Amino acid sequence: MTRLILVLGDQLSRDIAALRAARDGDVIVMAEAMDEASYVRHHPKKIAFLFAAMRKFAAGLQDDGFRVAYTRLDDPDNTQSIGGELLRRTAEFDADSVIATEPGEWRLIDILASLPIRVHQLADDRFFASHADFDAWAKGRKELRMEWFYRHMRRKTGLLMDGDRPAGGRWNFDRDNRKPAEPDLFRTPPPRFQPDDITAEVLDLVAARFADNFGDLRPFDYATDRDGALHALRHFIDHALDEFGPTQDAMLLDDPYLNHSVLSPYINAGLLSPHEVCAAAAAAHAEGKVRLNSAEGFIRQILGWREFMRGIYFREGPDYTRRNALDHRRDLPWMYWGGKTRMNCMTAAIGQTQRLAYAHHIQRLMITGNFALLAGIDPAQVHDWYLSVYLDAYEWVEAPNTIGMSQFADGGIVGSKPYVSSGNYINRMSDYCAGCAYSVSARTGKTACPFNLLYWDFMARHRARFEGNPRIGRIYGNWDRMDDAQRRAIRADAADFLDRMADGQIV
Ligand code: FAD
Ligand code: DLZ
Ligand code: SF4
């Protein structure tokens, strides 16, 4: 009997489990489906990237002799859902079962499990750690901390190890990193790729069908196939990785990428494997081309954070995205969808998100995430936003970053403290404050930086929870040392700011 082999839009790896299981006569099923393209209002660049990459991947399979049943979004028979397409193809090819690779989202796992046909969901083994590996590591631990998981993974993989000791004698070189950056005209941005015919056709389709989604479709210059993704990897290793560590946390108005790799869209969609990316970084260090603090910092993001986040997502279960430990209820303000704000940092981070479907980690964490947390925004709405607006966003990696790391809505599973800061941190790490309508040094008053007002307001509101936290509790000493009038002024100005924001005024 014929079997269907399902390949989803973020499973574009030739060695993905379902494809490895394919044998003669099987039919590969791929589908552009409205259900997938609209479970959140994805950035148009994200939809275009995936559709173009899917079409090219399918064409490559066909060239290599696979039988491929590919559904385009506008095909008249398209049922517009993955489940619907599997059932339609089952009837068409008289298939008796489906081989799939486990999707990266509970929603789709459940859909596949509930179809009236046998679906085998094989483990997605494109990661360094399987679910069982992560659970074995987590078992019996009171707290799950990325740093310990990362060391475990370094030992397991041997990446940047001298025998059983970390290369350079330390696991982590962040002491040498986290520097501000200066504008540098000679910094090399990521490579840009001219849309080919397939991509151009997809761009027209997306322009016609998703015109109302937040984000600029054009210019579109991301790679959409493995060759392009490999070129982007090589380019990053040769031109940016060496500087990655020191500038990792810096933010500049006119340089959205700094020395970041912009490889997450390719890794997450399957065009690059995390193994080859880490191996390339380690090799560049071994060849003396890249300093250790940069290679280590970069590899930690993938071998440590990326794997840790996936472990948490699958361990915590489908209700994770609904957690709201701090009981935050405010609506996401309009500025996140392009509405005007006087805050220069928010304009910069959201503006580049709108243009590029990209912001680097510190912009996501310490600008848009920090603001949402301080302002007490409903984490489900924040999650919805991050899942929509980035080219690299899939729930398994986005949710633990948003619900956990950024919004502390899981109550401290991903991080031991909330990532919050006043304007001072942003001023130190960026050039945003100089041209801002607000004053970063003012603590109260109409022109006081909102991050200053909201920071203390947040800390005061959540004192009972955070006062005893060894990583952040000491901050209450500073609050207590302020005089009463100042504390009252901060809280009143914060309340006024939040009311004006809720009222739809430009803040
Ligand atoms: P680089 O800075 O060059 O880092 C190298 C690689 O490390 C990335 O390509 C990525 O694969 C990995 N990485 C780095 N940090 C993380 C992290 N915290 N978690 C997982 N992987 C990491 N990343 C996503 O891939 N998809 C998301 O939907 C996503 N949502 C996020 C939401 C929030 C609120 C926050 C704070 C972070 C989120 N991240 C997400 C993590 C991180 O911001 C992006 O991976 C990174 O910005 C991608 O850009 P880059 O490729 O230039 O990364
Ligand atoms: C994100 C996405 C989009 C926009 N469109 C499709 C699609 O049309 N067909 C498809 O197979 N996959 C798509 N995807 C990726 C899926 O949503 C993704 O596989 C799940 O969210 C699990 O990570
Ligand atoms: Fe952002 Fe405050 Fe700096 Fe303005 S002053 S850019 S609001 S941190």
Q: What is the location of CATH 1.10.579.10 in the chain?
A: 334-502
Share of the chain above pLDDT 90, in %: 97
Give tens-digit pLDDT for 483-498: 999 999 999 999 999 9
Q: What is the location of CATH 3.40.50.620 in the chain?
A: 2-122
Does residue 1 surpass a pLDDT of 90? Answer: no
Does residue 185 surpass a pLDDT of 90? Answer: no
Section 90-102 average pLDDT: 98
Give tens-digit pLDDT for 368-414: 999 999 999 999 999 999 999 999 999 999 999 999 999 999 999 99
Burial 219-251 (b: 16+ CB within 10 A, else e): ebebbbbbebbbebbebbbeebbbbbbbbbbbb
Does residue 235 surpass a pLDDT of 90? Answer: yes
Residue written as token pair 């984000």: 215
Mutate to test the pocket of ligand 2, among 10, 46, 85, 397 (most ligand atoms within 8 A of CB): 10
Residues 6+ apart with CB under 8 A from 209: 73
Q: What is the pLDDT of residue 107?
A: 98
What's the rounded Cα separation, in Å, for the pair 498 and 507?
9
Q: Is 48 in the pocket of ligand 2 (CB under 6 A)?
A: no
Share of the chain above pLDDT 70, in %: 100
Does residue 216 surpass a pLDDT of 90? Answer: yes
Helix (H) or strand (E) holding 401: none
CA 274 to chain centre: 15
Section 39-65 average pLDDT: 98
**Residue having the nearest C-alpha atom to atom 43 of ligand 1:** 361
CA 61 to chain centre: 28
Ligand 1 atom at minimum distance from 359 CA = 47
CB atoms within 10 A of CB 474: 10
Q: Is 83 in the pocket of ligand 2 (CB under 6 A)?
A: no
Q: What is the location of CATH 1.25.40.80 in the chain?
A: 131-190+240-316
What's the rounded Cα separation, in Å, for the pair 10 and 274?
14
Q: What is the pLDDT of residue 449?
A: 98
Q: What is the pLDDT of residue 179?
A: 87
Q: How confident is the model at residue 115 (pLDDT cuts 50, 70, 90)?
A: very high
Q: Is 434 helix (H, G, I), strand (E, B) or coil?
A: helix
Ligand 2 mean position to 64 CA, how many Å?
A: 24
Inter-residue contact 277 to 302 (CB < 8 Å): yes
What's the rounded Cα separation, in Å, for the pair 214 and 205?
16
Q: At what angle do helices 131-138 and 307-316 cross, to 10 degrees?
A: 80
Q: What is the pLDDT of residue 452?
A: 98
Does residue 183 surpass a pLDDT of 90? Answer: no
Section 279-291 average pLDDT: 97
Ligand 3 atom at minimum distance from 452 CA = 2
Mutate to test the pocket of ligand 3, among 251, 340, 345, 441 (most ligand atoms within 8 A of CB): 345
**Residue having the nearest C-alpha atom to atom 20 of ligand 1:** 306
Q: How confident is the model at residue 177 (pLDDT cuts 50, 70, 90)?
A: confident
Section 310-325 average pLDDT: 98
Section 173-199 average pLDDT: 90
Q: Spell out the CATH class of 131-190+240-316.
A: mainly alpha
Q: What is the pLDDT of residue 342?
A: 98
Inter-residue contact 59 to 275 (CB < 8 Å): no
What's the rounded Cα separation, in Å, for the pair 426 and 440?
9
What's the rounded Cα separation, in Å, for the pair 25 and 349?
49
What's the rounded Cα separation, in Å, for the pair 126 and 129?
9
Is the peptide bond prior to 470 cis by the omega test (within 30 degrees of 0)?
Answer: no
Helix (H) or strand (E) holding 6: strand 2-6
Look at strands 95-101 and 118-122 and give their pairing. Answer: parallel
Q: How confident is the model at residue 166 (pLDDT cuts 50, 70, 90)?
A: very high
Across the chain, what does the average pLDDT equal?
A: 97
What's the rounded Cα separation, in Å, for the pair 14 and 401?
28
Q: What is the pLDDT of residue 176?
A: 82
Q: What is the pLDDT of residue 436?
A: 98
Does residue 154 surpass a pLDDT of 90? Answer: yes
CATH number of 2-122: 3.40.50.620
CATH number of 334-502: 1.10.579.10
Give tens-digit pLDDT for 248-259: 999 999 999 999
Q: How confident is the model at residue 182 (pLDDT cuts 50, 70, 90)?
A: confident
The torsion angles phi and psi of 401, rounded to 5 degrees, stand at -70, -40
**Residue having the nearest C-alpha atom to atom 2 of ligand 1:** 260
Bridge partners (DSSP) listed for residue 5: 28, 99
Among the bound ligands, the one closest to the CA of 309:
1
Q: What is the pTM of this model?
A: 0.98
Mutate to test the pocket of ligand 3, among 251, 252, 344 (most ligand atoms within 8 A of CB): 344
Q: Residues in the chain, how many?
A: 507
Q: Is 256 helix (H, G, I), strand (E, B) or coil?
A: coil
Section 135-160 average pLDDT: 97
**Residue having the nearest C-alpha atom to atom 14 of ligand 2:** 9
Quick one: CA torsion of 141, 142, 145, 148, rounded to 10 degrees? -40
Q: Is 393 in the pocket of ligand 1 (CB under 6 A)?
A: yes
Inter-residue contact 99 to 21 (CB < 8 Å): yes
